[in-house]
Amino acid sequence: MSLFIKNIKKLVNVRQRQPESPLGGQDMLSLPCMEGAWLKTEGDRIAGFGLMKDLDAGELEAMELSADEVVDADGRMVFPSYCDSHTHLVYAGSREMEFMDKLRGLSYQEIARRGGGILNSVELLHNTSEDELLRQTLERAWEIISLGTGAVEIKSGYGLTVEDEIKMLRVARRVGEETPLKVRTTFLGAHAVPARYKGDRTGYVDEIVRDMIPAVAAEGLADYVDIFVEEGFFSVEDACRIFGEAVKYGMVPKVHANQMSFSGGVQVGVRYGAASVDHLEFTGPEEFKVLQGSGAIATLLPGATFFLDMDYPEAKEMLEYNLPLAIASNYNPGSCPSGDMKFMMALAMIKMRLTPETVLNAATVNGAFAMGVAGDYGCIATGKKASLFITKRIPSYEFVPYSFTSQLIDTIILNGKQY
């Protein structure tokens, strides 16, 4: 199957040479675009692109004849799909009653201390079959596809037993088989201490290290390992034990770092070569210096900061330290029940004063690096997966985050196929 898309008003984030490393600091401020363009796909890949004005009539006709289908973008724009590098897409049910508790004044940690929060989702998931869990997750997967996402990272962490963590990760892998999404999976057994280990966190960490990591690895279910390093959840020492073991099985560390306090999550993540450190509400120059040159991508999750009504990370200062920033949705039932990357970009602009160019790079190129798929995803470049979307008629790319609740996507193309 090949497509020839012609009359593209603007080809956004198009690169002659794909970036070899994540974009940091100043490099995040520029968004290469091509005005008045065409793009060709061959199979599931981008075969080429160029300017309409450079095609003479014969070449245009030859392009059209050589394609299985011609799509006339007719003055609309083409963007690369979003790469959402932090989600908890696999969960059962919902937690809107806790949302009400939050509005009545309870904090995220207070709800967790009462046995709610993550443990609420753990119970719901335990009582849900794998097939039903898949059904619920597929609804969310198709929802994010319709919002422009083409690649997604999905974590476990609502199982907290060997069986239920494996159930979650199998469902996450099946999302990658049953939808056109590129899925990367993360083992997050250390998301909360389950009720059966109340008062014995070390006992639970023992179980993670002894039983869970080998079982998850035996089925090849996780690309990454993640830990919620936070007061009331897991300590830096726990992280050392879990990362130390998981890396032996080839899982690459990621961290839920510094969400509620200066927890040391950033430092321990960097020490173990984390691909990304995520959240970062409680960070400052000390953390930024540790991150400089570390290879870890600073991943901002503004949807959770918004939903929990917290102060936002100092993202502009991070750019001054030349850090690479990614933006992800953190789609989950507790702190961000939304997978809308456009809304996340709008929040990052409004609340952290980032530019449209920066947030678009953070949601595409750097998101792809944060989940190890930058060879195939993250920008428009020859040879990459044809994962992109054609917008409705919009005046500029700035219009996308500006118009933050409008549905602006006309056609979705994933792996060279239209949806």
The answer to the question of residue 228 lying near ligand NIG (CB under 6 A) is: yes
The answer to the question of residue 332 lying near ligand NIG (CB under 6 A) is: yes
Tokens standing for residue 49:
């692109």
* Distance separating alpha carbons of residues 165 and 313, to the nearest angstrom: 31
C-alpha separations of 43 from 59, 385, 417 in Å? 21, 9, 8
Nearest to 361 by CA among 31, 81, 33: 31
# chain residues binding ligand NIG, by CB under 6 A: 13
Residues whose CB falls within 8 Å of the CB of residue 349, separated by 6 or more in sequence, listed in order: 355, 356, 359, 401
The alpha-carbon radius of gyration of the chain (Å, integer) is: 21
Nearest to 340 by CA among 395, 302, 386, 297: 302
Q: Which member of 22, 189, 313, 334 binds ligand NIG (CB under 6 A)? A: 334
The answer to the question of residue 187 lying near ligand NIG (CB under 6 A) is: no
State the minimum distance, in angstroms, from the CB of residue 228 to ligand NIG: 5
The answer to the question of residue 82 lying near ligand NIG (CB under 6 A) is: no
String marking each residue 113-132 x if it binds ligand NIG according to CB under 6 A: ----xx--x-----------
* Distance separating alpha carbons of residues 190 and 210, to the nearest angstrom: 13
Query: Toward ligand NIG, which CB reaches closer, 121 or 338?
Result: 121
Site for ligand NIG, residues 338 to 397, rule: CB under 6 A: none
State the minimum distance, in angstroms, from the CB of residue 82 to ligand NIG: 18
Q: Determine the residue with CB nearest ligand NIG.
A: 334
* Distance separating alpha carbons of residues 364 and 342, to the nearest angstrom: 11
The answer to the question of residue 137 lying near ligand NIG (CB under 6 A) is: no
Query: Toward ligand NIG, which CB reaches closer, 18 or 259?
Result: 259
The answer to the question of residue 258 lying near ligand NIG (CB under 6 A) is: no
The answer to the question of residue 333 lying near ligand NIG (CB under 6 A) is: yes
Query: Toward ligand NIG, which CB reaches closer, 168 or 390?
Result: 168
C-alpha separations of 171 from 136, 181, 185, 204, 233 in Å? 10, 13, 10, 23, 25
**Residues binding ligand NIG (CB under 6 A):** 88, 117-118, 121, 228, 256, 259, 304, 330, 332-335
